[in-house]
Amino acid sequence: MEELDTVNLVRVMSDDSIHSSLSSDSCEYYQTEIFDQLPSVQACRLEQNRQSLLEASEANQDGPEPRENISHGHLSRGPKDKASTRPLRNLVMCIQGKRNARDRRKMQISNIGFWDSWRRSQSIYMKRVMAQMGGALKGLLPWQQTLRTINGRFGVGVKAYFVFLRYLVFLNLLHCALISGFILGPTAFYGSSAHLKFGANDSVLDFFLGTGYLDRSPVFFGFYTRGSLNLPCLNTPLLYLAGIFTILFLSLIMVVRRTVVGYKHTWILGKQYSVNVSYKIFCGWDFSIQDRASATLKRSFIRNDLKLFLEEQSFSLREAQRTLPQKVRLYLLRFIFNLIVLSLLGGAFYLIYFATKTSQNMSASEHHWMVSLVLQYLPPITITFVNLFLPHMFRKISSFEDYSFTTQVNATLLRSIFLKLASLGIYLFFVFDQTKNQPCRENIFGREMYKLSNFNFLATLCNAFLFSYPRKLLQEKYPSSLLAHLSGKQHFLIPFNVLDLVYSQTVSWVGVYYCPLLPLIGTVTLMATFYIKKFTVLRCCVAEQRMLRGSSSSVLFHFMLLLGLIMAAVTLGVNFWIPNTNTFSCGPFGNGGSLFNVTGECVARLPSSAQTTLRYLSSEAFALPLILTEVIILTSYVSRGRANQKAIERLKDMLVLSSSDKRFLVKQHATMLRRQKNTGRVRGAAIKEDNPRNNSTVPPSTRTN
């Protein structure tokens, strides 16, 4: 009897289920009629039929070619392998799913060998340790609470500005460390400091002009002489060059890396930003928040991000509804505004040229010391005021060009950064032209960069405490006055503040060769700028109605910084290329020395094998293999990117089909429930109808009984 009661359940597999395009790692579907009606199965069968027809036609032509088919199963194996080593708390699944995953991992560990089990456990342990160390180091970053407050009240765009400012502080600290190791340290040990005395002709004014005592100090190029460290390949000139080139090279690597990473993140958000919005709506809340103020900040942050998205969506709809005459009229209007921008730029450049000529031609001894100070700072004052007023005009112009809010900000940034870099380049050209025959021209050039850096910080300080704060006090004390209504509410204008940072960092890069302590001055001024801007934002400004997305703005910030770095490299290259015709020179390349003389002397003292290697590396015979290698590497990266793009598109299709399957199954389930209810109602009505009939057909004898 026990054998008869035993039932063996066997699943019948058809050809379609055996040769399905779904991988064995995905969920198993039982062979039912509903499975055959799923949209994903029908799409896969259409694709399989199309491929079979193509293969049959190629077989008939006797010209089959190998084809690389990327199936759904192959795409699903990569995430599975990565998920097998990820911590369970990082897996996006429910508690029961994590328990099942833990049981599967235990079964896999029991089935594999001791060495593989130990290696997998160590990998998981190291990932946990690295994650904890990363969280601890991130918690040590300064100004974290300030950034959270700014993010909640003013949006991620204003926060991106302060993060960018903090990044520049760290970058300048790295520059200070390199300057100390390559230049200040050897000079302190092997140099001479007998001439570092405050003379009778020195005054406090020298600290503003960079003359007198400051001109003889380690601030400028002329202080660093050869000293006692005078070996052929280890001397002050080579260490000086190594420090400057290391600063520029590391800055290039760091800026390019952050630009590329930010661009990749922006590209991903630009392709599938709706997914990110759904994530922020349904999964954006941090349930670990226990403070009411933190909850308010988080809520305002989500609201500001969604407001920016809705603003861009409404602009996209309005842009799609434009007619052809409206587009022609808009393009003509933009062309006229661009002509106005070019005329404003030309006038600004001529004003800088006039100020530079006036400052160089006026003699300081003929005027009072205050007039002399103003004349010495006339080019920085002119550049600062041009950079202060013209970006506001560019902002007004971009508001009439009917761009989206993000595009308006980017257009204003591009025009303003061109203004700042071009004005600085014109000023550098005039300074180069007028100081090429003067003694110790490097100190003169460094002095100009020193004055530019100081006046830029002075302008930031005066703008905060002499304009923004009194304006806020006026609105608070006398809100109904005419002046308060005319001034309006203050907003933190991200483009203009970013331009100030890029300009100051560009000045630091340009002048680091002529003024080695300029990164230290930049670090101090940037840290002071952070607190000044924090006071301005939190005390004097109100939040913008339209928020700027932090990802795209961060990419543009670093791209402008990259332009400033390129400008600094070009300036340094021009200085090395132009020969110094003056007989009296100062600094490490004194007595007619130059970059080529110092490096040539070092190369001549090297062994013959090293000289042969250096000559080969600098010859055309090495350039051709190097170019071919770069082409191969770039081709491989481009091919990999295209393959990843195809895989991403296939995964997107799989997600769409998966959502279609879910909707289809929900509809089928609802239909089945309605059928069951209707069937139950019909059966109940039939039973009620049968009961009277049965009662009427019962014999009278049985009724009495």
pLDDT in tens, 618-652: 888 888 888 999 899 989 988 988 888 888 888 87
Contacts of 19 (CB under 8 A, 6+ apart): none
What is the rounded average pLDDT of the residues 507-533? 93
Q: How does 398-435 read in b/e, with b if 16+ C-beta sit within 10 Å? A: beebbbbbbebbbbbbbbbbebbbebbbbbbebbeebb
pLDDT at 22 over 70: no
| 124 and 205 inside one domain | no
Comparing 569 with 266, which gets the higher pLDDT?
569
Assess if residue 584 is contained within a domain.
yes
Instruction: Look at residue 253 in the predicted model and tell me its pLDDT.
Output: 92
With contact defined as beta carbons under 8 Å apart, do 267 and 249 qualify? Answer: no
Q: How far is the CA of 500 from the CAs of 160, 393, 515, 558, in angstroms? A: 15, 16, 20, 13
Read off the tokens for 630: 């770069």
Assess if residue 229 is contained within a domain.
yes
| 93 and 175 inside one domain | no
| 296 and 444 inside one domain | yes
What are the tens digits of pLDDT across the range 615-626?
888 888 888 888
> Could you tell me which of 369, 509, 384 has the C-alpha nearest to residue 458?
384
Instruction: Look at residue 581 in the predicted model and tell me its pLDDT.
Output: 60
User: DSSP letter at 230?
Assistant: B
Q: What is the pTM of this model?
A: 0.72
Q: Which residue is it, tokens 């308060």?
A: 484
Read off the tokens for 82: 């990565």
With contact defined as beta carbons under 8 Å apart, do 152 and 298 qualify? Answer: yes
Q: How many domains is the chain built from?
A: 2
Assess if residue 476 is contained within a domain.
yes
The conformational region for residue 155 under phi > 0 = left, psi -120 to 50 = alpha, else beta, is left
Q: Which residue is it, tokens 């009961």?
A: 691
Instruction: Look at residue 263 in the predicted model and tell me its pLDDT.
Output: 67
Assess if residue 609 is contained within a domain.
yes
DSSP notation for 236-274: HHHHHHHHHHHHHHHHHHHHHHHHHHHHHHHHHHHHSHH
Assess if residue 65 is contained within a domain.
no
> Could you tell me which of 548, 450, 530, 435 has the C-alpha nearest to residue 491?
548
- Rounded-to-10 torsion of CA 646, 649, 650, 654: 170
Specify the 3-state DSSP secondary structure of 190.
helix
Assess if residue 15 is contained within a domain.
no
Range of the domain at 117: 88-140
| 518 and 432 inside one domain | yes
User: DSSP letter at 214?
Assistant: G
Contacts of 224 (CB under 8 A, 6+ apart): 183, 187, 191, 218, 236, 240, 516, 587, 588
| 126 and 157 inside one domain | no
| 577 and 561 inside one domain | yes
| 135 and 166 inside one domain | no
pLDDT at 442 over 80: yes
| 409 and 556 inside one domain | yes
Give the domain-ending residue among 78, 106, 140: 140
**pLDDT bracket for residue 536 (50, 70, 90):** very high
Within 13 Å of residue 171, how many CA atoms lie on the same side as its CB? 28
Assess if residue 11 is contained within a domain.
no
> Could you tell me which of 383, 361, 385, 373 has the C-alpha nearest to residue 462?
385
Give the domain-ending residue among 618, 641, 664: 641
What are the tens digits of pLDDT across the range 61-72?
544 444 444 344
pLDDT at 111 over 80: no
**pLDDT bracket for residue 323 (50, 70, 90):** confident
Share of the chain above pLDDT 90, in %: 13
| 127 and 262 inside one domain | no
pLDDT at 492 over 90: no
| 122 and 153 inside one domain | no
Assess if residue 46 is contained within a domain.
no
| 203 and 134 inside one domain | no
Share of the chain above pLDDT 70, in %: 74
| 123 and 164 inside one domain | no
Give the domain-ending residue among 641, 656, 689: 641
What is the rounded average pLDDT of the residues 554-578? 83
Instruction: Look at residue 314 in the predicted model and tell me its pLDDT.
Output: 83
Q: Rounded to whole angstroms, how far apart are CA atoms 86 and 81?
A: 9
**pLDDT bracket for residue 560 (50, 70, 90):** confident
Distance of CA 239 to the CA centre of its chain: 33
What is the rounded average pLDDT of the residues 357-369? 69
With contact defined as beta carbons under 8 Å apart, do 226 and 588 qualify? Answer: yes
With contact defined as beta carbons under 8 Å apart, do 557 and 258 qualify? Answer: no
What is the rounded average pLDDT of the residues 23-37? 48
